[in-house]
Structure 1
Amino acid sequence: MRTMRVHELSEDISVLRMDEVTLPPPRAGEVRLRLKACSINFPDILMVQGKYQFKPELPFAPGMEGAGVVAAVGDGVTKLKAGDEVVAGLRVGGFAEEVNIPADNCRPIPKGMDFIKAAAYPAAYLTAYVALVIRGNLQPGETLLVHGSTGGVGMAAVDIGKLWGATVIATSASDEKLKTVKARGADHVINVTRGFREEVKELTGGKGADVIYDPVGGDVFDESTRCIAWNGRLLIIGFTSGRIPTVSVNMPLIKGFSVVGVRAGEYGRRDPEAGRRNIEAIDRLAAEGKIAPHVCATFPLDHAVEAMRMLQNRQAVGKVVITMD
């Protein structure tokens, strides 16, 4: 079977190359998944560059999440059978036509979702759910400021924020991209290239945002500390700007806000029962039709680098997905 793999870490993601490999039979507790789609996430790029906290052994195929059809099951697997359509948490390995993974990492595709949307919703919505509901304790009537709102995790945060009854202010560096977020339900949109501190204060009557969702970092984080409300929660999702910011601790002391780190996957690894409940929550929302990712582009497997560059160059609006057929 074909797989796009990394044999050496590099800033240049074009080091990925197509390999032909033969998978062994699935081991006890595993299934072989014939992938139909795999979505791209920013950590996939960081892993190729050797910059992510999780560093898989070389060679490896990127791809944290996917959807497909069970092709075979190993000994002891009773809850899945060949032909089942599932969504899978992979961490790595998704840029491939097939993959052997633990059966426990698979679950049924939510009703009404195709393979492409099924591959694109888990990581983004799990991140948004854990950040806003579990870590951020977002309450109805609060104001939520979502940075990077035109990306996959940002759009998911807009959706979860609206579902939880918040007033959502969405930011991006592109007026054109913000039109999509506004159409999906954001109450207000702000182009951050002209700054956002004063506009957030104006929209909140001088109070500031109760919860700030920040996958960007850098200057955006710095300015966020200037427009957060008393008892606010500044949620650290990532650093797509490339700069990891710092904060003088007198700022949260004087303004009474919290800086909260969010790693949704690690949350589940450290507390598996809580992780299971969080996954069930987003799966339920998906099955009820309350959440669905915005997929802006799909690429075939042999164009995986092109797909990653779309994300890397800030051209994507929502999610980008690789398809295997």
Structure 2
Amino acid sequence: MRALLCERHGPVRDVAWRDIDDAPAPGPHEITIEIDHASVSHATRLLIEGSYQSRPPLPFVPGTEAVGRIVARGTAVSRLAAGDRVVAVSRWGCYAQRLTLPEYTVYRVPDGLDALTALPVPISYGTAYTALLWRAALQPGDAVLVLGAGSGVGLAAVEIAALLGATVIACASTEAKRQAARQAGAAYALAADADLANQVKACTGGVGADIVFDAVGGPAFEHSVRAAAANARMLSIGFAGGQVPAVPLNLLLVKNIALHGFFYGRYLGWTPADERIVHAPALQRCMHTLLDWARAQRIRPAVTAVYPAADLAAALAALETRRVIGKVALKIK
């Protein structure tokens, strides 16, 4: 089969579309998928450069999220069948024509939902849902500040928070991204600048945000601490801006703010312990909810840019220079 192969850690341009051995036959609790599309994320570059939390053994095929059809299943697999359309999360391996992986993070795409629409659900929408509900205990009426609201995970957070009755304040770098956030349900859309705290307080009657959802890091984090209400819950999701922020602990202290670090990858098997099987029941319930919401158009996941499989470097450049709104994908089949 053909796949994007990373033979050594280094620049993304060194990853090449090559012939490799076919995917192995599935074991008892495994399935084999013929992949149509796979998503592109900031973690893709980190995996290739060897700077992610976990390192696949070299050589390896990157890619952590894909949609396709099941072509084979193991003898112990009962909830999925050959021919099912599925969306899957893997530790790596999705930039290949076929992939064999454990069934625990594979989810059937409901009838009536386009497979490409389902592609952003497990990671972007799964991150937003579990962070906001499992970690920050979002309640109707909360004021939720979303940093990086034009990204895939940022727009997912806007949609989910608005759907669940929160007042969403979106923060994004361009007017086009702010408009996309408004269309996704944000009540307010603000620029990412040093005046963020004053703007958020103006939107909340001087109170501030009850929840801050931060996948950006850098200076925006400190601005958001100042924009947070007393007793707020802050979610540090990642550092897409490229800079780990300095945490102003004095402000957290005097405002009684709870800071939650949140690594969604723990539920997906992206830690050395590979805890997929432990979290599978809860995550399957979460995915059932999200995919049903997508089918009913209560949320609207979208892949806004699709690149040929061999153009991974261009896809990553578009993502990292913030030229796209939402999710980026590679066409594999």
Note the alpha carbon deviations across 1:195-248, whole angstroms, 9 max, x for none.
311111111111111100000011011111111001101100000111111324
Deviations 1:243-279 (Å, cap 9, x if unpaired)? 1113243322210111011122314636444333333
Match of 1:202 in 2: 202
Give the equivalent residue in structure 2 for 1:315.
323
Distance verdict in 2 for CA 1:31–1:271, change over 3 Å: closer
- The aligned amino acid for 1:128 is A
CA contact (8 A) 1:3 1:95 kept: yes
CA-to-aligned-CA distance 1:152-208 (integer Å, 9 cap, x gap): 000000000101111111111111222222222211111114631111111111111
Aligned pairs (5 A) from 1:70-219: 70-193=70-193, 195-219=195-219
How many percent identity over aligned positions? 35
Matched pairs, number: 324
Q: Secondary structure at the match of 2:226?
A: coil
Question: Is the 8 Å Cα contact of residues 80 and 108 (structure 2) preserved in structure 1?
Answer: no
Which of 303, 308, 311 aligns to 1:300? It is 308
Contact 2:218 2:243 in 1 (8 A): yes
1:18 maps onto 2:17 in alignment = yes
Read off the aligned partner of 1:16 and give its amino acid letter.
V
Tell me the distance in 1 between the aligned counterparts of 2:232 and 2:226: 11
Counterpart Cα distance in 1 of 2:205 and 2:220: 21
CA distance in 2, matches of 1:324, 1:181: 29
Aligned ranges 1:45-60 → 2 under 5 Å: 45-60=45-60
8 Å CA contact 2:118, 2:291 repeated in 1: no
Q: Which moved more, 1:84-93 or 1:219-228?
A: 84-93
Runs of 4+ in structure 1 over 4 Å off: none
Instruction: Tell whether the 8 Å contact from 2:121 to 2:291 is kept in structure 1 after alignment.
Output: no
Is the CA contact 2:147–2:216 (under 8 Å) kept in the aligned structure 1?
Answer: yes
Shift of 1:281: 2.8
Q: Which moved more, 1:72-81 or 1:102-111?
A: 72-81
Q: How does 1:263-282 map to 2 (within 5 A)?
A: 263-267=263-267, 269=275, 271-282=279-290
**Does residue 249 in structure 1 map to residue 249 in structure 2?**
yes
Separation (CA, whole Å) in 2 of partners of 1:109 and 1:47: 27
Equivalent residue number for residue 66 of structure 2: 66
Mark the runs of 5 or more structure 1 residues left unpaired by the alignment. Answer: none
| Aligned partner of residue 119 in structure 2, secondary structure | helix
For 1:288 and 1:177, locate their aligned partners in 2 and report how far apart those are by CA, in whole Å: 24
- Rounded to whole Å, the distance in 2 between the matches of 1:223 and 1:78 is 49
Quick one: distance in 2 between partners of 1:310 and 1:91? 23
Partners of 1:267 and 1:322 in 2: CA distance = 24
Secondary structure, counterpart of 2:266 in structure 1? helix
Do the aligned partners of residues 85 and 273 (structure 1) sit closer, same or farther apart at CA in structure 2, a change above 3 Å counting?
Answer: closer
Residues 38 and 120, structure 1, Cα contact 8 Å, conserved in 2 = no
Kept in 1, the 8 Å contact 2:194–2:223? The answer is no
Which is further off, 162-171 or 99-108?
A: 99-108
- Tell me the distance in 2 between the aligned counterparts of 1:126 and 1:85: 19
SS of match in other structure, 1:47:
helix
Letter in 2 for 1:18: W
> Tell me, what secondary structure is at the counterpart of 1:247?
coil
Are the counterparts in 2 of residues 110 and 286 from structure 1 also a CA contact under 8 Å? no
1:105-163, Cα deviation, whole Å (9 max, x unpaired): 32210332222112222100110001111111111111110000000000000000101
Partner Cα distance (2:292, 2:82) in 1: 24
For structure 2, which runs of at least 5 residues remain unmatched after alignment?
269-274
Q: Secondary structure at the match of 2:165?
A: coil
Root mean square deviation, CA, Å: 1.7
- The one-letter code matched in structure 2 to 1:59 is P
C-alpha distance in 2, partners of 1:54/1:46?
Answer: 10
Contact 2:170 2:181 in 1 (8 A): yes
8 A contact 1:62–1:95 mirrored in 2: yes
Q: Is the 8 A contact 1:121 1:292 kept in 2?
A: no
- Structure 2 length-normalised TM: 0.92
